[in-house]
Structures are given as C-alpha cells and as structure tokens.
Structure 1
Amino acid sequence: MSKEWILPTLGALIFWGFWGFIPKITTQYIEPKSAIVYEVIGAMIVGMIVLFSLQFQPDTHPKGIVLAITTGMLGLLGAFCFLNAVSKGAVVLVSTLSALYPVVTICLATFILGETISIQQGVGIALAVLAIILITA
C-alpha cells in the first residue's frame, strides 16, 4: 500500500493545529464576525495561488463544483462557530472537543459510503465519545 498520504496528512495536522490556536489570540483583538472576513481573505489568497498553479483551468464537473462549494461553506461555518467558541471559552476545551469532528465523518462514511470500521477503530470511536463526555463534564 502506498504511503503517499502521510506527508499531506502531517501537513493538515500542523496547519490545523495552528488554525485551532491562532483564533484564540485573534479574538482578543477583533470580534469573530470580523475575524471570519479576514479568514476568507486568507483563503482567497491560497485559492488564487492554487488557481495560478492550475493555469486558471480548474475541473468543471457540475456535481464536483456543487460539492466543493458546499464543502467550503460548511468549513467556513465551522470556522465561524469555532471563532465564536474560542472567543468565549478556553481554547484547550474548544479545540479538543471540536477536533473530534472525525466521529461525524466516520459515521457518514459508514452509513452513506458503506465504508467499514474495524473493531479497533470502533473502540477508538467509543473512546472519542467518552472523551467528549469527560471533557464537557
């Protein structure tokens, strides 16, 4: 099995780690509604760099476009909720609880895509749910 997924996964880990930390400091200076506007500008900068790398010719399949736009909207709504949460609560708790979003993803992948979960993975998910209970108690 190819291990080409490891480096980008580590990149996501690092980028999302900073993504979860910086908003706590940001919301000490500006309100979450303003912060989300500047986050969009940051996302647009990255998007423009990628668009240049594609020589302004991204794929144009209608379903793919709708799904990608939906993903962007969901991601931004999640970021906005996160900004509001860290502006009112401890980043240690907010980041830990929100970082358990893969439980939702795993459930969707299992029920909609028919992906399977091993017993070991199921135990891990159960422990993540237990972590939610312990963190919020």
Structure 2
Amino acid sequence: MLYGKEHVDRYRATDGKEGHDWNDTTVLLLTTTGRTSGRKYTTPLIYQKHGDDYVIVASKGGDPQAPDWYRNLEADPDVEVQVMGDRFPARARTASPEEKPELWRLMTATWPQYDEYQAKTDREIPVVVLERAAG
C-alpha cells in the first residue's frame, strides 16, 4: 500500500498513473509551504471534484490536532496541486458552515471513515476547498 513519501514519488514519476487511484478512491498531491520552515511539503490526500474545485478533508484520522498541511495552508493559502499529470497553483480555503454539510456528504461517500474520524475527536474536522488560481 502506498502512502507518504513513496506515494508522492511514484505519483509524480508516473503523472498519477500509480497513486491516483487508491483504496477505491482518488488521491491528489497537495504542496504547502511550511509555516515556520518555509520549506515545501507535499501530502497525498483523498479528494473529490465539486464543480471546478477540488475538495479535501483535514481529518488526520480523527487526531485532536489538525494535520500539519492544514496548519500550513492557514498561514499561507497559496498551494500547489497535482491531479494525475495536471499540476497547478491553487488557493485553499476552509469550507463555510453553509457549504460544509454538502461537501462532507461528498467526501464521506468516497471515504466513509471520515464519519468515524469525526466521532473520535472533539475537533471540528475542516473540509478544504482548493480553487485553481487564475492565470
């Protein structure tokens, strides 16, 4: 099973032919800038399309603390996204309370464990919308 650095390396090397389809769902690569280090970090994340946008979930398996990638994009919402061979700049934002129910249903339809993760933590798990940057 791929995940982590090996997943990122194989995904990049094959333009997603290896790594995009994973455990009956789909994965993109999200690159954020470290909020303290300034370094680039790439994370493979389950996603779904919603209109022109891409939707991801900052679950960290139900951990009480948000994942580092989410904390990074809170500090700098300008990110890079790769979906298959398509690499593009995007702006990340947390879904509004009005948007979240629909987007949560979209994401739990592809990865039902998100409901389990939310039940494990008091933290409100954010849904993140990635909007392709104009240009």
Select the structure of larger CA radius of gyration. Answer: 1
Higher helix share: 1
TM-score by length of structure 2 reads 0.23
Higher strand share: 2
